[in-house]
Structure 1
Amino acid sequence: MHNYLNREASAHAVLDAARAAQRLPGTSIPTDGPVGIWGHSQGGGAAAAAAESAGSYAPELDLRGSFISAPVADLDATFRTFDDGMLAAGTGYYLDALASNYPETAPVIDEMLNPAGKAMVEAVLEQCLFETALKYGFQNSRHWTTSGRPLPELLAENPTTRAILDANRIGNRTPNAPTFIVTGSNDDIVPAGQVRELADNWCSRGATVDLVEIPLPPFPFKTGLGHNINEYIANFGLASSVLDQMFNGAPVRNTCDSDAGRVTKADGALRFAGVIEETLGGA
């Protein structure tokens, strides 16, 4: 069973992958060389989880920095955005993983779901994203519950599932290396608000955080355009340049306001334009 959006499992998988890469025989990868972390969306959440866990779980790694794009840091906020959109049944992926990783939630989930909801959860277990979007996209999860209320509300209110949502929230630990976080102002799958909150939480813990918000127009119908345009701009336009600078020891911008313990609320368009000029103009 895939550990979908499980903070600890995702963090360990990323950091163990770095360890494994350094131990591969017959390569030029040094066993104690510098490490960078890079991920988007679910992978962004995994990258963020790894960034804040590296100091305790893999202190031997020479982590130089992390490029974190559209991270899923707050499951509750993200699932509420899923509803009515292309990835409406993405919550079904989570329910499958939840019941597998936390068996005590199985009866809770069973009570929440009506026959249509149970069929959806069983079906997505064997689907990839595009198949799920085609079959279940643009629906509201209230149609899958016995109470007629949306699944995110039920998960947030039930004490058992609420505790697990809170335990899997990213931002309650401190990265031991600089982080570069990207979000889109109108990301229609992974909302920008919870990304800003992640940055604020890390800032309050004394981390070095460079937060860039890509100014995107609002897109109707939650088609995922706001999420995927963000991906292309951030990951194909910025990531390799930013990580290269981190690897080479270049100064890292810190957008944290040390007095307020949060990210400075700079103009997103100007900040993004500045990053583009810095990272690409000097290449």
Structure 2
Amino acid sequence: MTTASLKRIVEEALAEVGANVNFLLVPKGKARSTTWLGIEHGFGIRHYPSGRNVYIVQTRMAGRQRTVTIGPASVLTRHQAQMVAGRVIAYAQVGRDPATDRKRIRSAPRFDDFLEEYWSRWSPQWKASTLATHDGYRRQYLDGAFKGVFIDELNEENVTKWFADRNNRSGPGAANRTLEILKNMLNKAEVWGYRLEHTNPCRSVRPNKRRQCERFLSTEELARFDHMLAELRASENLTIRSGCSFITLLLLTGCRYREILTLQ
């Protein structure tokens, strides 16, 4: 793999994570020290006497150790640099040239086609309730989400914009749930050979904080609830009567759902 090939790999990976790097900002001369970050093997940050810091990645290529400059820490976030490092390492492991990879990209499906393939191959393993929920999220938030984009081209910028739009349109809960579905989809795209390993752009998108909701029933609400349970206990249906007893035990004991469910 040539120096020109490595440069193209880094440039393409930087474009995928939405980073615009001016390599004139990369300092010349001998680095003072290197801190290995331990996230990706060989991924680190070099510290120069001028005070500038530069992300690098070291990996073996064609039988020798190579050091590849990713970009200045003043421009790149650590996660962006990590994504680029993972891309370089992946290329080094498989020995691909970017020109060869572009041919592979052309044979990869577009997002909508991959969505259909993922659903047909993976949804049979879901429970009926999970399938119903996921179908709803797919119809509302995934169908047509990345029109014309090949699954290998889907990058951090695409996903970040999509997630922000989902937050604005559907709220944080639905956005989080759909992001998790998309993340699993792109993991499968790597397993099935449509994307290079460790390039899932969803890893860089931080989900919304989950709000803990807790509310106690008022005295009036408890009274109405108890009245309804009393009516249902008079039912001739054993399942309904058992359900009422189950709910009553939960109310009176404070036990967890499964503690009552498995009670002998």
TM-score relative to the length of structure 1: 0.24
Rg larger in 1 or in 2?
Answer: 2
TM-score relative to the length of structure 2: 0.25
